[in-house]
């Protein structure tokens, strides 16, 4: 698990695919002419608050050690921190294949987790206060794939996961006005960035109609998948 500063300083020592993927990520985060919608993530990257991992294959077992390390230390990295996991590029799959892979990783992480589910987080995914938890930490997760064409904000040249601790949002969204300002700022950058209009499933944590899990893996259209991960995740929460 490395910082951006460590990676860029030693970029020539990394395998070619890691160099290419990270330089692409760096270019997106630093693009002033076409700014990435998540301005808080951009700020975190530019202040070296993000941490990164590279994996031959993204599986729960492969990322678990780094994710535990991150959970134990993220508050030392800065308020806009995230953990970003890249998989070595391979043949491009369908959106549905990536979606199933994403939820399979979360299911397996939950099965491997030796910490109790936090008492203040509901286990029912249909509860607006539900959030994925690992190592005792509630985390918002974003999945990017090579199959996202219209929703460019969720596109990457490889399968990629971003883990954002709930703690990151405690100051950003702790009042109605702050939340309104934050969502307005992100939406203003999102609308010209994506080909498709903003997803109707994006919302504020805790709102009665909001479901966090629906925002983790957004489809490349604004139609939610007919199959949901309830049966996958809630079985492990029983």
Q: Rounded to whole angstroms, what are the CA distances from 53 to 44, 87, 94, 168, 236? A: 16, 9, 24, 19, 26
pLDDT per residue of the chain (238 residues) written in tens, 0 to 9: 999 999 999 999 999 999 999 999 999 999 999 999 988 899 999 999 999 999 999 999 999 999 999 999 999 999 999 999 999 999 999 999 999 999 999 999 999 999 999 999 999 888 999 999 999 999 999 999 999 999 999 999 999 999 999 998 887 666 677 777 877 888 888 889 999 988 877 877 767 887 889 899 999 988 776 556 655 565 455 5
Question: Contact 161/142 with Cβ under 8 angstroms?
Answer: yes
Quote the domain boundaries for residue 102: 2-237
Q: Please give the pLDDT value at position 234.
A: 57
The residue with tokens 């990435």 is 36
In the chain, the N- to C-terminal Cα span, in Å, equals 32
Question: Contact 59/105 with Cβ under 8 angstroms?
Answer: yes
Q: Please give the pLDDT value at position 88.
A: 98
d(CA 58, CA 12): 23
Q: Please give the pLDDT value at position 39.
A: 85
Q: Please give the pLDDT value at position 26.
A: 97
**Which residue in 57, 58, 53, 26 sits closest to 41, CA to CA?**
26
The token pair at 98 is 């990536």
Q: Which residues pair with 51 in a beta bridge?
A: 3, 83
Q: Please give the pLDDT value at position 197.
A: 87
In the chain, the number of structural domains is: 1
């Amino acid at each position: 698990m490395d910082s951006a500063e460590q990676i860029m300083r030693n970029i020539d020592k990394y395998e070619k695919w890691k160099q290419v993927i990270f330089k692409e990520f760096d270019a997106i985060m630093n693009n002033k002419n076409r700014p990435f919608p998540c301005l808080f993530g951009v700020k975190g990257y530019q202040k070296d608050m993000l941490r990164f991992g590279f994996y031959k294959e993204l599986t729960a077992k492969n990322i678990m050690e780094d994710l535990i390390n991150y959970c134990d230390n993220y508050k030392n990295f800065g308020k806009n921190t995230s953990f970003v996991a890249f998989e070595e590029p391979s043949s491009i799959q369908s959106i549905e294949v990536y979606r199933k892979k994403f939820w399979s990783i979360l299911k397996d992480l939950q099965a491997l987790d030796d910490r109790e589910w936090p008492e203040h987080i509901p286990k029912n995914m249909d509860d607006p206060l539900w959030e994925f938890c690992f190592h005792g930490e509630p985390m918002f997760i974003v999945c990017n794939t090579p199959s996202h064409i219209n929703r460019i904000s969720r596109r990457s040249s490889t399968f990629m996961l971003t883990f954002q601790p709930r703690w990151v949002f405690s100051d950003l969204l702790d009042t109605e006005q702050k939340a309104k300002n934050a969502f307005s700022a992100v939406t203003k950058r999102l609308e010209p960035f994506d080909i498709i209009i903003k997803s109707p499933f994006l919302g504020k944590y805790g709102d009665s109609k909001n479901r966090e899990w629906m925002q983790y893996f957004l489809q490349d259209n604004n139609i939610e998948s007919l199959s949901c991960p309830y049966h996958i995740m809630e079985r492990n929460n029983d």
